[in-house]
Amino acid sequence: MSYFNSLKFSTHHTAISLVVIAFLVLPAIDAIAKFMSTDISAGQIAWTRFLIQTLIMLPFFLNTMRLEKIHSLFPQALRGILIAATTVLIFAAVKLMPLAEVISIFFIEPLIVALLSTIFLGEKIGWRRLSATIIGFSGALIVVQPSYKIFGLFAILPFAAALCFAFYIILTRKLAHTINPTAMQFSSGFSGLLFMSIVLALGYFLEFPVLKVTMPSQDQCLLLLLLGLIATVGHFMIAFAIKYIEASTLAPFQYLEIVAATFYGLWLFDDFPDALAWLGIFIIVSSGCYTFSREQRKNGNCE
């Protein structure tokens, strides 16, 4: 019995570690996109990201399809549409609003995930985990220091993105128990590619600048390839890990993206955080560490 308890603890520990790595690496996508934003539109960057994910996951998907039956195609396709919609909405919001306000609104998403997990997944949050999520959100607000002029019509964009990504996480958790993560990642990439192709086609005829298509240079192609690779691997880690942890457990760790984004901003754009931002980062890390240590104790004792 102790062997199985130890195995359960080890798997859960690995899943949490993958989640932490994913949320620390994924903000590099935004950094690369920002670096290229003057020359390549947000829509084209998003389309390329899903094209690369589809191509990377295709051989693994074909092998999975050979070994097991692929099912739940509509929910898998819906995951791709949700993550594609999230990408487009975030880029559109950044184009129209200050970045701090976009981030402050979007990072209501972990709290939405924690609440939706009780409704759709029947998970029990508990006051400690909910408190850690709320404290992490307060840390995120301190880091981004929004001006709070967020009640205009444009505020709908990052809020809609947060809602889309929250349902993406919930749907991923629901499907993870029955569907191979390889199949999920290919399906989300392919459906996201189809969705973005339609969006880009509409953008071409309607002449939306945010959906403009241009020919990238060789260096830009390498950056787009790196962006797609990071997105594919990062979301694969989440799809694999969420099979072993509850969606509400994931919520506080998502605030680590703020920490990573701060680091990338300092490294690539010389955007040095002030003392108040460092306080927020400390709060975010503390809430994530508390959740991590509590999950270790809980699963180690098999409570």
Q: What pLDDT, in 10s, does the model give residues 27-72? A: 888 888 888 878 888 889 999 999 999 999 998 888 876 555 666 6
Q: What is the pLDDT of residues 123-151, one digit of tens each?
A: 777 777 778 778 877 877 777 666 555 55
Q: Is the pLDDT confidence value at 258 over 90? A: no
Percent pLDDT > 90 in the chain is: 18
Q: What pLDDT score does 2 carry? A: 45
**Residue carrying structure tokens 């960057």:** 45
Q: What is the pLDDT of residues 166-200, one digit of tens each?
A: 999 888 888 877 788 888 888 889 999 999 999 89
Q: What pLDDT score does 150 carry? A: 52
Its sign, for the CA torsion 34, 54, 252, 160, is positive
Percent pLDDT > 70 in the chain is: 81
Cα separation, 63 vs 58, whole angstroms: 9
- Provide the mean pLDDT of the chain: 79
Give CA separation, 158 vs 85, 100, 146, in Å. Answer: 11, 11, 14
Q: Is the pLDDT confidence value at 300 over 90? A: no
**Residue carrying structure tokens 């070994």:** 67
Structural contact between residues 173 and 242, judged by C-beta atoms closer than 8 angstroms = yes
Structural contact between residues 87 and 180, judged by C-beta atoms closer than 8 angstroms = no
Q: Is the pLDDT confidence value at 288 over 80? A: no
* Those residues with Cβ within 8 angstroms of residue 280's Cβ, 6 or more apart along the chain or in another chain: 139, 140, 141, 142, 143, 144, 258
Q: Which of 191, 186, 196, 195 is nearest to 239 (CA)?
A: 186
Q: Is 207 exposed, middle or buried (0-12, 13-18, 19+ CB in 10 A)?
A: exposed
Neighbour-count burial for 11-24, b at 16+ CB within 10 Å, e otherwise: ebbebbebbbbbbb
Q: Is 263 exposed, middle or buried (0-12, 13-18, 19+ CB in 10 A)?
A: middle
Give CA separation, 278 vs 78, 137, 142, in Å. Answer: 38, 14, 9
**Binning pLDDT at 50, 70 and 90, where does residue 232 land?**
very high
Q: Which of 183, 275, 189, 276 is nearest to 229 (CA)?
A: 189
